[in-house]
Amino acid sequence: MPGPTGEPDVSLLLCLPRATCTPAPAVYFIHGGGVIVGDNRFGLPEVLDLAAPLGVAVVSVQYRLAPETPHPGPLEDSCAGLLRLSQQAGELGVDPGRTVVAGMSAGGGLAAGTALLARDRGARRSRDN
């Protein structure tokens, strides 16, 4: 997916449930690792274990890491991925009106910041998305 304006693309890993019709509800997952280690597969098995019985898709973002990319780079990457997911949800088989943002450890802080930044930038939150 295209990253923030003037920045590299953002990689999203899409894991759709096997037995659910699309569009599926989704968890937009932001990995932990202190914002200095990890990738979009880091911590993913635990999230998939929680999502699978519920028929929920998991979309995991790969953000640029510090110290090479200082704040707000990781936050901007995470927000860009969420906005692109929202815009292209139909193509990806995800219901943007039933998508939550979550993260582990440092990803939890990024998840909170991503949700607030998306809200402040006018991202739509309703099922009419």
Could you read off the pLDDT of 5-34 as tens digits, one per residue?
889 999 999 999 987 777 999 999 999 999
Cite the DSSP H helix spans in the chain: 44-51, 73-87, 89-92, 106-120
Beta bridge partners of 27: 58, 100
Give the C-alpha separation, 128 to 101, whole Å.
18
pTM for this prediction: 0.91
What is the CATH number that goes with domain 11-120?
3.40.50.1820
Could you read off the pLDDT of 81-125 as tens digits, one per residue?
999 999 999 999 999 999 999 999 999 999 999 999 999 987 655
Domain definitions of the chain by residue range? 11-120
Could you read off the pLDDT of 44-93 as tens digits, one per residue?
999 999 999 999 999 999 999 999 999 999 999 999 999 999 999 999 99
Non-local CB neighbours of 44 within 8 Å, separated by 6+ positions = 13, 15, 29, 31, 58, 60
